Structure 1
Amino acid sequence: MQRLQVVLVLASLCCLGAYTPVPCVEEGVDYAPNDADADIRVETPISSPEACQRACEKETQCFFFTYDTQRKACFLKRLQEPRVEAAGLVSGTKACVKTHTAAVQEADLPTGVKHRGALSGALARLAEAVAFEEEGAVRPEGSKPYPFWGKGHVSREDRLSLEQRLMATRGPHHVRDRHVLVEVVPSAPPSEGEEGGGQMEELKQVLLDKGLKNATVARRLLTGWLPLEALKEVDSLKTVNSVRPALYRTNRGLVSAQGRKSMRADMLTKRLNVTGKNVKVGVVSDTYDNFCCGEHLTNAQQDIENDDLPADVDILMEGGYSLAGGSDEGRAMLQLIYDIASDAKLGFHTADGGTAVFAQGIRALAEWGADVIVDDIVYFTESFFQDGEVAQAATEVYKQGVAYFSAAGNMADESYESVFRDSGEEGQLGVLHDFDPSDGVTVYQPIKVPVGESWMAILNWDQAWFSVSGGEGSASDLDMIVYDAKKTPVYYLLAGGGDPNIGRDALEVTAFFNDGTIDVDGKPGPDTDFFLAIELHQGPAPGLMKYIMMEGEAPKEHFTFSSTIFGHCNAEGAIAVGAAEYSQTSPFNVTPAVIEPHSSVGPTNILFSPNGDRILDKRMKPELVGPDGVDTTFFIPDRDEDNTGFPNFYGTSAAAPQVAAVAALLLELEPGLTVDELYAALTESAQDMDNTATAKFDVGFDTRTGHGFIDAEKAADLAKQLMSERRGDGGYDAVSMQAGAGAEVATPPPGAAADVAAGDASGEEPSEELLNEVLEEKKRVDESVNRENKQDDQKRRRLMKKAGSHI
């Protein structure tokens, strides 16, 4: 489960410079002529370069095209480099969808300029709010009024009271004790191989002198808690490229055996007497023992006394500076692991403190000797299309032989992606994107935000990030703006959405909290209908842009329902784990298991290497599904949906640690397993599940349920088989539980007939007729479950979003 760990701080400064469209095509140039991986396909005959460009727009993986005027052939391409001169060819980009013809003059544009210091827009506004606290503070001469302060003259007290309300009332904060959690990107990235030395250490010392707390360095990133009063000073440092808020959330015993039973881990332990002995499991989450206790809730010492935790958990680094008492989701995860792998050695490292703390925590657990690492955190500052610092850390430890599991997320398929379509209309900060893929034009996407609730989304586009690869950074500056019914930006409730991006990262985070003060639609009562716009402030239009919903309801119009797994959850070598409620699994008489409606979907393709080269790396996620809704002794308080007397832990945050615990059982059973063999045993033995968003049963892998629901017993049999084959001792007999000459494993191939194949004592493949019968039965059960649970699913999805506590 992923709990929102961010206060809705303020938006960046408004306004823009003039927009100059880039040419759609270049004559006499061929894109990526010598790269076999560049071409997606060739279409012929195509009548014109414009028709070729439109074909590229319709192909998700196309970003560039080359049109042969002689052959009337259209080459759709993933890559742009290298380019060569070539007569008779016309090449262009996917992004030039329409020619911008509006006569743009400076006088026609909104007044003012964007903030151009190191601070992000949100932090710049926060710094301004701090300045207004000082007696006699005035707006600098010649500067423009800030839209944040409202449509008229607003008193200093009103300005500050709104800022304090946003800082102090939106749950566990990233602004605490007059410090804000930040990520600092230096202007000059560290040299190759540098880790916390040289200029990074110098910059760290400068910021420590300005009051930075809990400073942590991870290659190109420096994170820590910066005093609010130091924001203005840091804004002008020439050694700093950018400073932004570090926003994250988690992907949310007398612990019951619900998870064990649903995964058949109880049967595995009984049959083969495995408990995780001699296996080390590390957890990365928010906190371990900082929870502020309440009635019927426990702390770590009480959990140890009740045998819901071992007494010897190694705490490498505790979190909690950003939290009002902490949530201890890490302890809840450790309870679930201990319930399944009771003899495993457990360790914990916080991810609270920025992406540098997160990445270094992963590496620290690997150095501690972890065989398995699991996390449930996602930072909003992790790139969609490029492996950032945390993703690279996850891949590093995987290559060192550590199995890595991550909560896939709880965003379902609530994501929008598209090429930027130039509408020819101007918004507050730039040229408005056209959401309508047809010949019509729609520049505002309606969103509904009830009073007292929030709407939040993260926007990325297909340009390499400076904080990841250095170089030129983003070539484009996009903004995501929320408007009211009169199409006036609601800046004074907007966090982010207007950051300067050129030379920095292709990232915007927009958050809007409806406090009920907006009433401009002419209807009685506060407004709940608002409008989202994406605007190109400067630079070329991107070939692909994507936003993922983190809070609130998805738009009802022109929404693409795309992938939502991103960042380190999408890393190479990391297993992304989805969730199914434990009561909706085979041991509880529901076959196949039913995916939770909130479980995130894949795939999100990686478009840039860590050094900034354009690539196409298809990441097929998620890989596995585990159980959620299981009991813990304290997490989440007041959420006892199955009336057992203990709180239920929902979300992929609950599923991931239980899958990691099964991995620990397999490693005790077969210590010689490689990570890839371990992954194969888990995925190839999983029970096939259905993507409930599609019309027919999805046989095999699908992008909502992966390979299916984990089955610990079958995974153990397959692990024994793999090791037996590697040793060459004649195979493994799953029935008699011993190696024997010529024995055939009883593990079925992945697919819809897994259970039938497993029960076929003859070892023969089931007939096509029997397979069809199984598929029909699974379809019937699935349809029945969907009918019965549709309303419950919708209700749970709304509750989870409202709670803001599930990844």
Structure 2
Amino acid sequence: MLYLTGSVTAGSLPQPTNHSPEDTTIATNIDEHKTQGDILVRSNGIRETFGVAGKGIKVGVIANGAQSINISQKTGELSAVHVLSEGTGDEGTAMLEIIHDIAPDAELYFYAYGSSSDTFKTAVTTLVNAGCNVICDDLYFFRQPFLQDGDVADYIRSVLKANPRLIYVTVAGNFAPLHYQGPWKTGLSYGKNQTLQDFAGGACAVNITLLPDERVIATLQWDDPWGNSFTDYDLILTDPRTGAVLATSNFTQNGTTDPFEHLVYDPSGPNSEKVSLQIVRNGQTATPNILELFIRGVDAKGVDNAFMKDPTDSIFGHAAVEDVVTVGSVEPVPPFTISPDSSHGPVTIRYPVSTKRWKPDICAPTNVNVSGAGNFPNPFPGTSAAAPHVAGVIAQLWSAFPDVSRDELKQVIYQSADDLGAPGWDEIYGYGLLNAERSYRLLFDKNKPAYNTSEAILKS
């Protein structure tokens, strides 16, 4: 993803972008691509019955880009948006369309995340300074720790602490199909003073069939302290027929570096290709570690090994922050089963104290309608489509009950969700499928005394 540079000064925010009413060359198709999630999470009911549409709430979106936002606006899918940094691509455009479908009176902002965790923090800061009450992103950083909080998680936590009227919504991630987590287990010898990880029952390799348009992106971390790793691992990709090494990641861990290896391999030929991925441990093998491995760029059907398809504990980064609303995705038809790619919890944290965090928090639909502006996929897949539904409903509810605290609003959303999976919270669905109508009624019942008092004053 690319980042388009630009500066924004306080007090001089760009005006909302909108289309000219005189443009007669483009036909409107208002509501043609409205997300079906609006009905599934019951946000349409409270908007149509009670007029709850997000008025007075500012919602900020952070994604790769919103390059084709003008097309979405000209076809009636979006109204005005403050574009503070345009970026590249149109995932942001699609996310904004979903929020607008649900909370059309909310004031929308967009800032592209940029190319690093530092530019992402700039995006968050800019949206907070613009007065956003809700921020929604669809980002994850594989250079951040999996098994402890990194600087991004710490930053989001500090922003929430400093801004009690802000709710932060993010994705659980789409990493359930190709994830492994397990203890170090000594396997076959690989070379001098080198040993392979035994993933399961003597299997020391992940066997992958690569299609011509696929690539292997593998990221390995383990539970040494970030910045102070004292156990040295490598990633090796080989040809299983000849043993030839195709790609490696062999950073040195010497007590001053991160527990991190990252391998990328692009096949060069026009045909499918079989490859094997191994974890190599250099030096002693006595000290145990928890290893966590993600593979991307490959269809899960091309991976033979069941141990590499464990969705448990595949949430990480700022999605693991306790006060963040972390969203999984369900299919948009009953019985609303979890999407095959939606990451599961709980989250294992090893430093500074070993603990578990109970994520995800809630679910919303995926594979929903968007305009497809900028040739963006329609229907919109992944947890990136689910999260803006939650952001839109939060905007609705906070506009209707502006005096409700952040914590109370979040708890009501969780408490009123349609329970899916195991009773109560579970590591797959969180508290279940978002239900805006039930949330509204629960908030209304809790705030009845205030309404009754107002009515008594008016009648006296």
TM-score range, shorter chain: 0.7 to 0.9
1:495-644 residue pairs with structure 2 within 5 A? 497-502=249-254, 503-516=256-269, 528-538=273-283, 541-552=287-298, 553=300, 554-559=303-308, 561=310, 562-582=312-332, 584=333, 590=334, 592-608=335-351, 614-634=352-372, 637=375
* SS across alignment from 2:77: coil
Q: Tell me if 1:396 matches 2:153.
A: no
Return the offset for 1:330: 0.7
Which residue number in structure 1 is paired with residue 23 of structure 2?
A: none
Query: Highest CA radius of gyration, 1 or 2?
Result: 1
Q: 1:214 to 1:306 in 2, by over 3 A?
A: closer
Q: Deviations over 1:776-798 (max 9, x none)?
A: xxxxxxxxxxxxxxxxxxxxxxx
Which residue number in structure 1 is paired with residue 180 of structure 2?
A: 416
1:430-469 residue pairs with structure 2 within 5 A? 430-436=194-200, 441-466=202-227
Whole-angstrom CA distance in 1 between matches of 2:192 and 2:368? 47
Q: Tell me if 1:475 matches 2:206.
A: no
AA matched with 1:604 = V
* SS across alignment from 1:332: helix
Q: Which protein has greater RCO, CA pairs closer than 8 Å, 6+ apart?
A: 2
1:166-177 residue pairs with structure 2 within 5 A? none
Return the offset for 1:460: 0.8
Q: Deviations over 1:133-159 (max 9, x none)?
A: xxxxxxxxxxxxxxxxxxxxxxxxxxx
Cα contact 2:72–2:93 (8 A) shared by 1: no
Whole-angstrom CA distance in 2 between matches of 1:739 and 1:718? 20
Q: 1:650 to 1:444 in 2, by over 3 A?
A: closer
Whole-angstrom CA distance in 1 between matches of 2:306 and 2:47? 50
Q: Tell me if 1:668 matches 2:399.
A: yes
Equivalent of residue 681 in structure 1, options 407, 412, 416: 412
Whole-angstrom CA distance in 1 between matches of 2:376 and 2:59? 29
Whole-angstrom CA distance in 1 between matches of 2:115 and 2:252? 24
Q: Deviations over 1:515-535 (max 9, x none)?
A: 338xxxxxxxx6633222111
1:112-127 residue pairs with structure 2 within 5 A? none
Whole-angstrom CA distance in 1 between matches of 2:252 and 2:69? 44
Whole-angstrom CA distance in 2 between matches of 1:527 and 1:429? 34
Q: Deviations over 1:610-637 (max 9, x none)?
A: xxxx312321111111112222222583
* SS across alignment from 1:668: helix
Q: 1:712 to 1:408 in 2, by over 3 A?
A: same
Q: Tell me if 1:331 matches 2:93.
A: yes
Return the offset for 1:668: 0.6
Cα contact 2:35–2:370 (8 A) shared by 1: no
Return the offset for 1:489: 4.3
Consecutive unaligned residues of structure 1, counting only runs of 5 or more, are 6-173, 175-180, 182-212, 217-252, 290-298, 320-325, 467-472, 518-525, 585-589, 609-613, 640-646, 691-697, 731-737, 741-807
Return the offset for 1:302: 3.0
Whole-angstrom CA distance in 1 between matches of 2:130 and 2:317? 24
Cα contact 2:5–2:85 (8 A) shared by 1: no
Equivalent of residue 271 in structure 1, options 38, 49, 63: 49
Cα contact 1:282–1:373 (8 A) shared by 2: yes
Return the offset for 1:672: 1.3
Whole-angstrom CA distance in 2 between matches of 1:656 and 1:515? 37
Cα contact 1:394–1:573 (8 A) shared by 2: no
Cα contact 1:565–1:600 (8 A) shared by 2: yes
Equivalent of residue 428 in structure 2, options 704, 718, 739: 704
Cα contact 1:428–1:489 (8 A) shared by 2: no
The number of residue pairs the alignment matches comes to 425
1:364-379 residue pairs with structure 2 within 5 A? 364-379=126-141
AA matched with 2:412 = A
Whole-angstrom CA distance in 1 between matches of 2:51 and 2:290? 51
Which residue number in structure 1 is paired with residue 86 of structure 2?
A: 318
Cα contact 2:221–2:293 (8 A) shared by 1: yes
Which residue number in structure 1 is paired with residue 61 of structure 2?
A: 283
Whole-angstrom CA distance in 1 between matches of 2:6 and 2:245? 34
Which residue number in structure 2 is paired with residue 121 of structure 1?
A: none
Q: TM-score, normalised by structure 2?
A: 0.85
Return the offset for 1:539: 6.8
Equivalent of residue 245 in structure 2, options 476, 490, 502: 490
Q: Deviations over 1:699-730 (max 9, x none)?
A: 222211111111110011122234457x6979
1:41-440 residue pairs with structure 2 within 5 A? 254-289=32-67, 299-311=68-80, 313-319=81-87, 326-399=88-161, 400-401=163-164, 402-423=166-187, 425-427=189-191, 430-436=194-200
Q: Deviations over 1:150-190 (max 9, x none)?
A: xxxxxxxxxxxxxxxxxxxxxxxx7xxxxxx9xxxxxxxxx
Whole-angstrom CA distance in 2 between matches of 1:631 and 1:577? 18
Whole-angstrom CA distance in 2 between matches of 1:348 and 1:355? 17
Return the offset for 1:336: 1.0
Return the offset for 1:557: 5.0
Q: Deviations over 1:3-58 (max 9, x none)?
A: xx4xxxxxxxxxxxxxxxxxxxxxxxxxxxxxxxxxxxxxxxxxxxxxxxxxxxxx
Identity of aligned residues (%): 29
AA matched with 1:285 = A
Return the offset for 1:429: 8.8
Whole-angstrom CA distance in 1 between matches of 2:284 and 2:149? 24
Return the offset for 1:423: 2.9
* SS across alignment from 1:615: coil
AA matched with 1:368 = A
Q: 1:270 to 1:551 in 2, by over 3 A?
A: same
AA matched with 1:449 = L
Q: 1:717 to 1:513 in 2, by over 3 A?
A: same
Whole-angstrom CA distance in 1 between matches of 2:174 and 2:446? 33
Q: 1:464 to 1:636 in 2, by over 3 A?
A: farther
Consecutive unaligned residues of structure 2, counting only runs of 5 or more, are 8-30
* SS across alignment from 1:649: coil
Equivalent of residue 438 in structure 2, options 709, 714, 721: 714
Q: 1:510 to 1:371 in 2, by over 3 A?
A: same
Return the offset for 1:659: 1.0
Whole-angstrom CA distance in 1 between matches of 2:448 and 2:327? 28
Q: 1:539 to 1:392 in 2, by over 3 A?
A: farther
Cα contact 1:686–1:708 (8 A) shared by 2: yes
Whole-angstrom CA distance in 1 between matches of 2:425 and 2:436? 18
Q: Deviations over 1:43-93 (max 9, x none)?
A: xxxxxxxxxxxxxxxxxxxxxxxxxxxxxxxxxxxxxxxxxxxxxxxxxxx
Q: TM-score, normalised by structure 1?
A: 0.49
